[in-house]
Structure 1
Amino acid sequence: MRFYPANLDALLVELSNLDETLALFESLQQQPIAGVEEIVPAARTLLVHFRPSAISFDALAAQIAARDIRGTAREPGKLIEIPVHYNGEDLADVARELDISVEEVIKRHTGSDYNVAFCGFAPGFAYLSGGAGFVVPRRSTPRTRIPAGAVALAGGFSGIYPQASPGGWQIIGVTETRMWDLQRDEPALLQPGYCVRFQDAGPLPLTRVSVPAPARQQASTLTEDYLQIVTPGLQTLFQDLGRPGQAGQGVSGSGALDRGALRAANRAVGNEPGTACLEILMGGLTFTCQGQTVVAMTGAQVPVDVMTADGQRLRPPLYAPFSLQTGDQVSVGSPTAGLRSYLAVRGGFVQAPVLGSLSTDTLAQVGPPALAA
């Protein structure tokens, strides 16, 4: 094992192969080390997040190194059967790469069970090991868009794209089984340790397959006091301190890029430090206040103009609270330094959290959508 500092509160453990990685992961799950908060497995590494106040880097590394993982095996997990239409556009290329027929690729892919080694890349994307033992290269040129439900191969893994996204794996088929669904208690269908068995669902053209897009958070119901968006700017998102601890489902921590500025905005209006704010990229946001509230702007150096309902033009300072009345219009100019600004509202915004957070992950489409007029 090799140990590398990944942050003040994280270390990276490098191992020889996937089997050793999964064995150590299983050991640390079965016999946890005090102070460890999250473990994220990959093909040959474990990323271990810990509380420095509870255990030091050196002490944690020593305890991990002392683990005897020889002969450690994971207990078989829940079996998930997934029907696949084997008509992927790379299926013939995969057969040529493996020097077997297309029929043999399908036979072997459906003829043995796979294990969910770990999740990553996107919410619900599981890396499946074992199975037929195929080893094929990634495409030399990744596709800009792979459809949701695409069943693909790369390296020694099989995988299923949970939603439309860029990708470089070799597509051999498609499934209509939804990999990621926020309406389920566990949104990710496949969890580390599960077993997966593919079934040949027959020849169905890709154009007839329909996998619903992941559900997005709908706009919140208007309350008595609200901000009416006039222009949303380049990109304005809801962000808080993110959703840590979800990496096992392939969900990134997300959250505000400038967390100090987000906390400062909340302090200015009397909120809890992690309350969701609006994260405004490169200014350009204009909104009209309906009701009475107190807000604060922090982060990038931007001019903030307030045109009051009675025609006065004000220029409130950054990092300080200012009150708004019904009809007041606020315009955020372009930054002279920095990129992102944070707008906090006293009492916070009314939105339903997704996996415990209001943060927006634009690639994974998790959390509230970007603001629009």
Structure 2
Amino acid sequence: MVIPDEKKARGSAIRVLPFGAAALLAEVDTLPQVLDLHAALAASRPAGVVDLVPAARTVLVRIDPQRLTLAAARTWITEAETDAAPIRLDSAPVIELQVAYDGPDLAGTASALGVSVDALVSAHQAAHWVVAFTGFAPGFGYLVSDEWHFDVPRLDSPRTRVPPGAVGLAGDFTGAYPRATPGGWRLIGTTEAVLFNPDAASPVLLTPGSRVRFVAAGPTREAVIAAPPALPERPNVPAAFTIAAPGWQSTVQDRGRPGAASLGIAPSGALDRGALAVANRLVGNSEDAAAIEVTGGGFRAVAERDLWIALAGARGVARVGALALDALAATLWPEGEELEISAFEHGIRAYLAVRGGVAGPISAGSRSSDVLAGLGRAAYASGDGVALANDVVGPVPPLDIAPWTAPTDDVIELGAEAGPRGEWFAASAHEALFEALWTISADANRVGVRLEGPVLERTRPGELPSEGMIPGAIQVPPSGQPTILLADGPVTGGYPVIAVVSDASLDALAQARPGMRVRFRHGI
């Protein structure tokens, strides 16, 4: 199968748009051109490219600026248009998904399209489908076919829960839900194939570029793809300490899952990466060892054996028994004693590092919890035991090796770079973004931070086709009130991005409490 409109895709101009200091957005005119461009870039990918994220009209290119400059990346993208050979998908293996065509919307969808149920099912099975991109949820693929000629409207009112394995239609796409989520697609059937298994070496079944055929399931509706065996991490390891109270939210975090956005997987990881590294260094761990990200304070736990611990990030009163913890120093936590971290006075997130590192299931290459996507272990609850890994790289240092200042309660200045959709906004919006004093709203979590301030006026109505997103992207919905995406944010989105918070400023943003003020500065 040749990608539709191949010649047109090859002849179209690629528009390369800025996306902060470590990404570019390559835009073309049609989805077939996206497939063409993504395949060309994937085939010639240089060192330093962290992620390639195809979407409806764009390919997001994330880079490591230490290994590849933006200028070099821009040249590589534009030359991919003429240097690569035409892309064919005939050689890709075909994944067959067995489907029981029993969806609640099947009959109504067929009627709305003016065809019989049998005709709609036959067309769905006869088409040769290709995964154009993933998004919305880990492993959720958007499939297209040049043999599919229906445009299916989404539901007027999305369902609050779509069951895992549901096969749906929306627009000119088809797809299958890997796990239970809300959704507005019209459901025509069910598959028992395992679409996403975070414990597998290759967690996503339907990756961009995969060819797919849908076939009618037999009477038993057995899964076509058996679930890969789970990869348990050190089973039956005794708990090193037990959670007595988790506070507002306490999760396992390491450096996260960079490079998996094309599979619909957010980077996750510690929001204040510097604080995580400091806490780990203080107890002799590797800097990216997993620790507990304590949000807001109110955390209590009891040691089941003697442990060395350190706390970095947000500041407040912390005690082991009657002994106050020294800030930024390793502390012995004796067996049977209670560690108490009270409500934070400065900042909002602290990192509790334990010598050896916190253990937990490794999902898609990381122990980090992504509660929204269901990756990693769930947020801690009272009574949970915490085991240790083996991420020690050296002794506990005898001196304070990491001077660190407490998070500020003053106005936080955030560096910002140009975003890809600046032309969607009036000149007054760009001025207001950098001149206004913004307030952190109560709607702030690991997914993103909503700001309160002046309305950023658009010059273009409507929404964008979905395109790749990164942590730090400043999205502006129709309300005009911007939201800054964080590590658990969506990997694709349809709100225009006016600017991008610089990577160096994200740690400071991670410590911003609701009600605090922030100001944007150009490129700091």
TM score, norm. by length of structure 2:
0.64
* Cα pair distance change 1:249/1:63, threshold 3 Å: closer
Match for 2:59: what amino acid?
L
Counterparts of residues 77-116 of structure 1 (less than 5 Å): 77-116=92-131
1:48 aligned to which of 52, 58, 61: 61
Paired residue for 2:363? 354
CA distance in 2, matches of 1:74, 1:285: 55
Taking the aligned partners of 1:21 and 1:287, their CA distance within structure 2 comes to 51
Residues 1:364 and 2:410 aligned together: no
Output one character per residue of 1:28-53: Cα deviation in whole Å (capped at 9) or x when no partner.
12222343232111111111111223
Corresponding residue number in structure 2 for 1:163: 179
Q: Distance in 2 between matches of 1:216 and 1:86?
A: 33
Instruction: Report what 1:208 is aligned to.
Output: none
1:255 Cα deviation from its structure 2 partner: 0.8
Q: 2:100 is aligned with what amino acid? A: H
Alpha-carbon displacement from aligned partner over 1:268-304 (angstroms, at most 9, x marks no partner): 2222211110011222221111222211112223321
Shift of 1:184: 4.1
Percent of aligned pairs sharing the same letter: 40
CA distance in 2, matches of 1:280, 1:66: 46
Q: Is 1:20 the counterpart of 2:33 in the alignment?
A: yes
1-structure distance, mates of 2:88, 2:378: 39
Going from structure 1 to structure 2, the CA distance change for 1:34 and 1:349 (only over 3 Å counts) comes to: closer
User: Which residue matches 1:66?
Assistant: 79
Q: Deviation of residue 202 (structure 1)?
A: 7.1
Indicate conservation of the 8 Å contact 2:203/2:364, yes or no.
no
| 1:293 aligned residue | 307
1:243 is aligned to 2:257: yes
User: What root-mean-square deviation, in Å, do the aligned CA atoms of Structure 1 and Structure 2 show?
Assistant: 2.6
1:264 to 247, 259, 278: 278
Q: Deviations over 1:82-102 (max 9, x none)?
A: 121222122233223322222
Deviations 1:103-125 (A, max 9, x none): 22111111222111222222221
| 1:123 lines up with 2:138 in the alignment | yes
The one-letter amino acid of 2:37's match is L
Preserved CA contact (<8 Å) 1:247 1:253: yes
- 2:365, 2:279 → 1: CA distance? 21
Write the letter of the residue equivalent to 1:198: F
What are the equivalent positions in structure 2 for 1:218-237 lying under 5 Å apart?
221-223=236-238, 226-237=240-251
8 A Cα contact 1:144 1:166, kept in partner: yes
Determine the C-alpha separation between the residues in 1 that align with 2:128 and 2:330.
59
Residue 153 (structure 2) pairs with residue 140 (structure 1): no
Distance 2:252 2:43 in 1: 37
Q: Distance in 1 between matches of 2:130 and 2:341?
A: 51
Q: CA deviation at 1:329?
A: 0.4
2:19 aligned counterpart, secondary structure = strand
Q: Is the 8 A contact 2:30 2:56 kept in 1?
A: yes
Return 5+ residue gaps in structure 1 as ranges.
Answer: 206-210, 308-312
User: Structure 1 residues 228 and 253 mapped into 2: Cα distance closer, same or farther (>3 Å)?
Assistant: same
Q: Structure 1 residues 301, 65: CA separation in 2 closer, same or farther (over 3 Å shift)?
A: same
- Taking the aligned partners of 2:76 and 2:338, their CA distance within structure 1 comes to 58
In the alignment, the residues of structure 1 paired with residue 370 and residue 302 of structure 2 have an alpha-carbon distance, to the nearest angstrom, of 26
1:217–1:367 Cα contact (<8 Å) kept: no
1:190 maps to 206
**Where does residue 288 of structure 2 map in the other structure?**
274
Question: Which deviates further from its counterpart, 352-361 or 179-188?
Answer: 179-188
Matched, 1:327 2:342: no
Report the equivalent of 2:448: none
* Equivalent pair of 1:276/1:358 in contact (CA under 8 Å): yes
Q: Secondary structure at the match of 2:81?
A: coil
State the one-letter code of the partner of 2:363: V
Alignment partners' CA distance in 1, 2:340 and 2:143: 49
Structure 2 counterpart SS, 1:248:
helix
2:319 aligned with 1:305:
yes
* Paired residue secondary structure (2:62): strand
Tell me by how many angstroms 1:157 deviates. 1.0
Deviates more, 1:79-88 or 1:27-36: 27-36
Task: State the secondary structure of the residue aligned to 2:275.
Answer: helix
Question: Does the 8 Å CA contact 2:51/2:262 hold for their aligned counterparts?
Answer: no
Whether the 8 Å CA contact 1:41–1:47 is kept in 2: the answer is yes
In 2, are the aligned partners of 1:138 and 1:154 still within 8 Å (CA)? yes
Instruction: Please tell me whether the aligned partners of residues 200 and 364 of structure 2 are also in contact (alpha carbons under 8 angstroms).
Output: no
Question: Which amino acid counterpart does residue 31 of structure 2 have in structure 1?
Answer: L
- Give 1:217 shift: 6.7
AA partner of residue 363 (structure 1): L
Query: Could you tell me which residue of structure 2 aligns to residue 310 of structure 1?
Result: none
CA contact (8 A) 1:239 1:255 kept: yes
What SS does structure 2 have at the residue aligned with 1:159? strand
Q: Does 1:31 align with 2:44?
A: yes
Pair 1:158–1:342, CA change in 2 (3 A): same
In structure 1, how many angstroms separate the alpha carbons of the residues matched to 2:320 and 2:47?
Answer: 51
1:114 touches 1:195 (CA, 8 Å); kept in 2?
Answer: yes
Give the distance between the partners of 2:177 and 2:137, measured in 1 at CA.
8
Q: CA deviation at 1:267?
A: 2.1
CA distance in 1, matches of 2:266, 2:235: 24
1:239 and 1:352 map into 2 onto residues whose CA distance is 11
CA, structure 1 residues 315+184, in 2 after alignment: closer, same or farther (shift >3 Å)?
Answer: closer
CA distance, structure 1, for counterparts of residue 209 and residue 21 of structure 2: 29
Partner of 1:177: 193
1:115/1:195 contact within 8 Å kept = yes
